[in-house]
């Protein structure tokens, strides 16, 4: 099992300001095909999780351009260029290289 660790676990942000979440994997998520198998999900209050980013940096359909993912190997980052009120929720990274797929503990983003 690949352990993934997120930080911070709580993230208060002023609207319009940037935000950044880190995800570290205990093992490299780089596949021989050159892709990093790391996803980001957002669970808004009262909703199911939704896919934000796949393969470390590919925004899912409909995801606003203010969201971006980066990183390779064991270190990954989700960045929000300018936080909006609708971005509140819990952000999870997930290692998708092999089963069992594993999630980070979650980062709760709240508006200051």
Stretch binding other proteins (CB under 8 A), from 19-27, 64-72, 74-82, 90-98: 90-98
The CA-atom distances, in angstroms, between 19 and each of 22, 42, 62, 67, 86 are: 10, 14, 20, 10, 14
Quick one: which segment of 15-23, 72-80, 81-89, 94-102 binds other proteins (CB under 8 A)? 94-102
38-43-46 Cα angle (round to 5):
165
69 forms part of the interface with other proteins (CB under 8 A):
no
**Is residue 4 within 8 Å of 24, Cβ to Cβ?**
yes
Ranges within 3-62 binding other proteins (CB under 8 A)? 35, 37, 39, 41, 48-51, 54-55, 60
Q: Which residues bind other proteins (CB under 8 A)?
A: 1, 35, 37, 39, 41, 48-51, 54-55, 60, 92, 94, 96, 99-103, 105-106
């Amino acid at each position: 099992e690949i352990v993934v660790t997120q930080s911070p676990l709580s993230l208060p942000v002023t609207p319009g300001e940037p935000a950044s979440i880190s995800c570290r994997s205990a093992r490299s998520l780089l596949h021989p095909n050159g892709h990093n198998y790391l996803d980001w999900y957002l669970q808004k209050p009262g909703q199911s999780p939704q896919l934000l980013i796949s393969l470390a940096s590919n925004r899912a359909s409909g995801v606003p351009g203010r969201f971006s993912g980066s990183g390779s190997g064991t270190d990954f980052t989700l960045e929000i260029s300018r936080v909006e009120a609708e971005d509140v929720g819990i952000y999870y990274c997930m290692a998708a290289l092999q089963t069992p797929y594993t999630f980070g503990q979650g980062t709760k983003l709240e508006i200051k």
